Amino acid sequence: MIEPEEISEVLSEYDLSKTTIGVLASHSALDVCDGAVEEGFRTYAVCEKGREKTYTEYFKAQRNNGKLIRGVVDNADVYNKFNEILKPENQQKLRDDNAIFIPNRSFTSYCSIDNIENDFKVPMFGSRNLLRSEERGIKRDYYWLLEKAGLPYPEKIKKPEDIDSLVMVKLPHAVKKLERGFFTAASYAEFKQKSEALLKQGVITRDALAEARIERYIIGPVFNLDMFYSPIEEEMSKIELLGIDWRFETSLDGHVRLPAPQQMTLNERQITPEYTVCGHNSATLRESLLGDVFELAEKYVRATQKYYKPGIIGPFCLQTCVDKDLNFYVYDVAPRVGGGTNVHVSVGHPYGNTLWRKPMSTGRRAAMEIRRAIEQERVEEIVT
């Protein structure tokens, strides 16, 4: 793991009055860039060839005497593959641009976690060591952390033969790197039937199936809680609820739009839905549940501070289901910018706007924290 002293040494060479915000050009990059320019920063997007035009053309920034009049991406580099950002000369470009880098899920998916922890010597906003906790199945993954925190999560089923009610089988998609090969089953027989069909279709692999996590299905709506923790806040709450989002998933959402008789006519390749995220929408909770949300966040923050020092910094997302008795269950955790924050670009999050009295997206809140840290000469407290 890169030591704090190494990042401090890099920061000592920065001109923080010319700080730029760097991000891998995928996932939540537009939210990050939009928030950065709202707070007066210039932006730096690292793109992959074939996927760059969103950032280098369609959302490219146009400025007039420094004033932004269109777009959000000031500068962009295009590499053959995202992981070329790890090359020493490309890291140096970021440092030469006084970049503070904001990690997203694409960064940790396309770049090795080992390399991010040990070789990516660019100041990173957030908790570098917590990024690994998102990898299901490692010794101290987010399920381990949820247990240590005393947070509710769906019951784990030890083996397929023990399935006695509806479960979710969680494993990676065989082809789509960022996506899931999830499926549901209510019995061992259904597990075998669906898994064999998905294996035949190339959606999952036998190795991944052997390592799959099986957990009892929580019947209820899904709420992704977009939270923020500020280690430099001195007067008000350090924990903020910025907003809530939920997902559109293919082909699941296509299934639920079909009447039951039509669902029953689907063939083998159509009948088992996939859970590939293709979009998000905004949501709110009834106010009587907001206290429960903050309790979940408080427990998670305390656990990260105890087991992954210095603990969470900046944005994180608790992905939850709510059952019929209004109980929350955390089924996934993102220890960085959540995947659904683009739904709040420019207009902000409902709760973040209420808190900060202006449009406040996750991207803008991150940039605001960086701005405050620069003004207070406390940047070393928010980067790792």
Do residues 253 and 187 share a domain? no
Instruction: Compute the distance between CA of residue 317 and CA of residue 173 in angstroms, rounded to an integer.
Output: 22
239: Cβ contacts below 8 Å, ≥ 6 apart: 227, 228, 229, 294, 297, 298, 301
The CATH number for 110's domain is: 3.40.50.20
Instruction: Compute the distance between CA of residue 177 and CA of residue 251 in angstroms, rounded to an integer.
Output: 17
Chain-centre distance of CA 278, in angstroms? 14
Residue 254: inside a domain: yes
Do residues 148 and 289 share a domain? yes
* 10-residue averages of pLDDT along the chain (384 residues): 97 98 98 98 98 98 97 98 98 98 96 97 98 92 97 97 97 82 95 95 94 97 98 98 95 92 92 89 97 98 97 98 98 96 94 98 98 98 98
User: For the chain, what is the domain count?
Assistant: 3
User: Could you tell me the CA-to-CA distances from 71 to 37, 209, 384 in Å, in that order?
Assistant: 9, 43, 29
Residue 109: inside a domain: yes
Record the tokens describing residue 99, joined without a space: 């970049």
Residue 83: inside a domain: yes
Do residues 226 and 209 share a domain? no
The two beta strands, 328-334 and 167-170, are unpaired
The CATH number for 340's domain is: 3.30.470.20
Check if the beta carbon of residue 13 is closer than 8 Å to that of residue 69.
no
Instruction: Compute the distance between CA of residue 305 and CA of residue 138 in angstroms, rounded to an integer.
Output: 19
Which of 141, 81, 71, 140 has the alpha carbon at shortest distance from 333?
141
Do residues 38 and 174 share a domain? no
pLDDT at 177: 67
Check if the beta carbon of residue 242 is closer than 8 Å to that of residue 365.
yes
Residue 321: inside a domain: yes
207: Cβ contacts below 8 Å, ≥ 6 apart: none
pLDDT at 196: 95
Do residues 207 and 118 share a domain? no
Please say whether the dihedral angle defined by the alpha carbons of residues 48, 50, 55 and 57, taken in this order, is positive or negative: positive
**What global pTM score does this model have?**
0.95
Q: What angle do CA 201, 50, 341 make, to 5 degrees?
A: 80
Which of 123, 26, 32 has the alpha carbon at shortest distance from 81?
26
Check if the beta carbon of residue 81 is closer than 8 Å to that of residue 48.
yes
Record the tokens describing residue 173, joined without a space: 């998609």
* Helices and strands counted in the chain (H then E): 15, 15
CB atoms within 10 A of CB 366: 30
Check if the beta carbon of residue 303 is closer than 8 Å to that of residue 296.
no
Alpha helix stretches (DSSP H) within the chain: 4-12, 29-38, 53, 88-96, 105-110, 113-118, 142-149, 188-201, 206-210, 252-256, 260-263, 268-271, 290-307, 350-356, 362-375
The two beta strands, 20-24 and 99-101, are parallel
Please report the DSSP string for 199-232 in residue order: HHHTSS-HHHHHT-EEEEPP-S-EEEEEEEE-TT
CB atoms within 10 A of CB 157: 20
Check if the beta carbon of residue 51 is closer than 8 Å to that of residue 29.
no
Domain assignment of residue 199, given as a range:
156-216
Residue 379: inside a domain: no
Do residues 15 and 115 share a domain? yes
Residue 290: inside a domain: yes
Instruction: Compute the distance between CA of residue 178 and CA of residue 277 in angstroms, rounded to an integer.
Output: 9
Do residues 240 and 303 share a domain? yes
Do residues 52 and 119 share a domain? yes
Of 170, 192, 216, which marks where a domain is finished? Answer: 216
Instruction: Compute the distance between CA of residue 246 and CA of residue 283 in angstroms, rounded to an integer.
Output: 7
Do residues 243 and 349 share a domain? yes
Do residues 8 and 146 share a domain? no
Which of 48, 38, 25, 42 has the alpha carbon at shortest distance from 365?
38
The CATH number for 181's domain is: 3.30.1490
